[in-house]
């Protein structure tokens, strides 16, 4: 372990601030699957000293490269290096924290949508009990088409309310089945768009600031991918099972892009605020906070 640590320290001596952060994330942070294990490792005194030494090595390398240069230029370079390191670390931390904060709510929403799916399938199967009655209604010469539809819907609601065996398995719901199903399709499609936008926003941040290297803990990344796969699967299955009732789901690129931009903006803003706090420049955070409260605020990635 000591030889590996020595190797990492030597590498850090020759790296730029960005490269040093990438090496730190790749060699250290990405070995953890979840946030709790990472937190325990970061809280250890030995870890804090090790991380501090890593950034100290970067500053020493800058001083070596700028030996003989004006003191003002050196101070500016060191200040920029510290800010770059703080921001990149804050960005990596904020991206993971964003996923962690969203996780429980997203899992709950997914469970709710799956419960709705189960309810729909159960409700749909009860409609088979209507077929024989509906055939009779359709063949009755004394009923208009409107009356036949009305009687059929009344019977359907009765079966849903009481159950075919009279035990009332399903709650009474006056909303027509097809309407509920289509609304479910729209809601789940929007949910999927949000999850996909989150993934694309994180990938965009990795490309822009971390040379495409992964900055998300494996456990959080895997859960996001599984959630997306499950949503895609249930939408596909629903479209097949209820092809005669559902519209063909169309992707919404405008909505997805808007979601991705909002997520990117949120993560960048929080990372910037955290950076200013760590650098003791809280006053500079006031315009950002003011901009966040403005309904027309648009923080762009290039601002950072």
In this predicted model, what pLDDT tens digit does every residue of 223-275 receive, in sequence order?
999 999 988 988 887 777 777 666 554 555 556 788 899 999 899 988 988 88
pLDDT of res. 263: 92
The pLDDT of 161-168, averaged and rounded, is 47
- How many of the other CB atoms lie within 10 Å of CB of 181? 20
- Spatial contact of 225 and 215, defined as CB atoms under 8 Å apart: no
pLDDT of res. 134: 54
- How many of the other CB atoms lie within 10 Å of CB of 272? 20
Task: Give the whole-angstrom CA distance, residue 246 versus residue 7.
Answer: 59
- DSSP assignment letter at 248: P
Residue 170 has pLDDT above 50, yes or no: no
Considering only residues 267 and 17, tell me which one the structure prediction assigns the higher pLDDT: 267
Task: Give the whole-angstrom CA distance, residue 144 versus residue 150.
Answer: 10
Question: Full-prediction pTM beyond 0.85?
Answer: no
The pLDDT of 263-292, averaged and rounded, is 81
Span 201-224, pLDDT tens digits: 999 999 999 989 889 988 889 999
pLDDT of res. 158: 56
pLDDT of res. 42: 76
Span 86-96, pLDDT tens digits: 899 999 999 99
């Amino acid at each position: 372990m000591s030889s590996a640590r020595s190797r990492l320290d030597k590498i850090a001596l020759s790296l730029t601030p960005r490269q040093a952060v990438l090496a730190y994330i790749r060699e250290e942070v990405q070995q953890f699957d979840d946030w709790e294990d990472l937190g325990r490792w970061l809280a250890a005194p030995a870890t804090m000293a090790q991380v501090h030494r890593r950034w100290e090595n970067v500053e020493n390398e800058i001083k070596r490269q700028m030996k003989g240069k004006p003191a003002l230029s050196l101070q500016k370079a060191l200040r920029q290096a510290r800010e770059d390191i703080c921001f990149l670390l804050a960005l990596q931390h904020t991206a993971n924290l964003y996923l962690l904060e969203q996780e429980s709510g997203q899992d709950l929403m997914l469970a709710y949508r799956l419960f709705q799916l189960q309810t729909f399938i159960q409700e749909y199967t009860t409609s088979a009990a209507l077929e024989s009655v509906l055939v009779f209604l359709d063949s009755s010469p004394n009923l208009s088409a409107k009356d036949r539809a009305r009687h059929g819907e009344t019977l359907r609601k009765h079966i849903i309310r009481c159950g075919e065996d009279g035990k009332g398995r399903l709650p009474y719901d006056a909303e027509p089945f097809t309407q509920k199903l289509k609304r479910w399709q729209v809601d789940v499609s929007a949910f999927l768009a949000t999850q996909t936008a989150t993934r694309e926003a994180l990938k965009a941040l990795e490309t822009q600031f971390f040379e495409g290297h992964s900055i998300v803990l494996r456990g959080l990344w895997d859960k996001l991918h599984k959630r997306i796969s499950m949503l895609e699967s249930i939408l596909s299955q629903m479209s097949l099972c209820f092809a005669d009732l559902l519209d063909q789901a169309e992707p919404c690129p405008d909505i997805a892009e808007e979601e991705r931009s909002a997520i990117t903006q949120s993560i960048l803003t929080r990372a910037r605020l955290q950076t200013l706090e760590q650098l003791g420049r809280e006053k500079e955070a006031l315009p950002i906070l003011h901009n966040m409260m403005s309904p027309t605020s648009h923080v762009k990635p290039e601002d950072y």
